[in-house]
Amino acid sequence: MHGGLGLIWPAGLKHTATRDRWFERFTALEPGMSLQQISAQLQESYASVYRWADLFSYEFPDLRRLGRVAPDEWKRVNWQQRDAEIARDLGVSRERVRQVRADRGIGPSAHRALVLKFGKWAAANRERLHGLPVTVVLKTHGTDLSQQVARRVLRAQSILPHDPAARWRDVDWRLPNRDIARIWGTSAKYVANIRARLQAGSANWDAKSSRIADNPQYQRALAQETLKSRAQRKSRGRPAQAAAMA
């Protein structure tokens, strides 16, 4: 299978709808375009363009440079940028940029420095951060890192991820879904889903029973759960924990 640029379908490569579509897109390109130009023209990510260009042996300048960059080009580099951005601009690998950065004694990029700072802070506050949502962690630290990067840093520090069902583990599941939902400000359907997820079993009391209101055990459980909910809401309103972690 030949393309308009003289591209030849790689020997032994099986045809799929996705591969055929990408092959047709590359055969429609002008020869010798850079990865940046192809990415812009096809409106695809740099990584995707690189993958398919390499697979179909489309010759682009970035492949022929093999990391050779003129000294003047390195001098003009904005080292506050990420290594990935510099590599993309120069048509070299991130590893090559990292090597040059190290050889010249240049510190990490502004983004990398922010990541390192966040990592040190997370390590120092590990116990307090266990189970917190990433959005809360980022707000507490006051950083503008992306949630994806923050999650990676938190995993590296062995900080337990947020579990949406965690706050439900101490709920008195003897109570009907209707009561739990009212006390905790959600829907009975959501409570039913959490009950199933936690395998908490069925409620001890039937919400439809006409005699449930006269049951003293039910009334005590209802009152205790209400107090528990109020105490938790009150504790969430205190800024002391966030201030202590800053």
Mean pLDDT to the nearest integer, 70-92:
83
Mean pLDDT to the nearest integer, 65-91:
78
Residues 10-46 pLDDT 10s:
888 889 999 999 999 998 888 888 888 888 899 998 8
The residue ranking higher by pLDDT, 144 or 121, is 121
Which of the given ranges, 25-34, 96-105, 153-162, 213-222, has the highest pLDDT on average? 213-222
Is residue 70's pLDDT more than 70? yes
Residues 162-212 pLDDT 10s:
777 667 888 999 999 999 999 989 899 989 998 988 888 999 999 889 889
Nearest Cα neighbor of 184 from 236, 135, 146 is 236
DSSP characters for the chain? -B-TTS-BPPTTPPP-HHHHHHHHHHHTSPTT--HHHHHHHHT--HHHHHHHHHHTT---HHHHHTT---HHHHHT--TTS-HHHHHHHHTS-HHHHHHHHHHTT----HHHHHHHHHHHHHHHTHHHHTT--HHHHHHHHT----HHHHHHHHHHTTPPPP-TTGGGTTS-TTS-HHHHHHHHTS-HHHHHHHHHHHT----SS-TT-TTGGG-HHHHHHHHHHHHHHHHHHHHHT--HHHHHH-
Mark whether 181 and 124 lie in a shared domain: no
Q: Is residue 234 a part of any domain in this protein?
A: yes
- Give the chain's domain count: 4
Is residue 59's pLDDT more than 70? yes
**Mean per-residue pLDDT over the chain, rounded:** 83
Q: Is residue 55 a part of any domain in this protein?
A: yes
Q: Which residue has the tokens 């503008």?
A: 144
Angle at 69 between CA 51 and CA 56, to 5 degrees: 20
Mark whether 183 and 202 lie in a shared domain: yes
Whether residue 210 contacts residue 219, with contact meaning beta carbons closer than 8 Å, is answered with no
Mark whether 181 and 233 lie in a shared domain: yes
Q: Is residue 4 a part of any domain in this protein?
A: no
Q: Is residue 9 a part of any domain in this protein?
A: no
Mark whether 60 and 78 lie in a shared domain: no
**Under DSSP, is residue 8 helix (H, G, I), strand (E, B) or coil?**
strand
- Distance, CA of 71 to CA of 209 (rounded, Å): 83
Mark whether 192 and 221 lie in a shared domain: yes
pLDDT band at 240 (very low <50, low <70, confident <90, very high): very low
Mark whether 170 and 241 lie in a shared domain: yes
Mean pLDDT to the nearest integer, 222-238:
80
Q: For residue 115, what are the domain limits?
A: 110-156
Mark whether 215 and 239 lie in a shared domain: yes
Mark whether 241 and 199 lie in a shared domain: yes
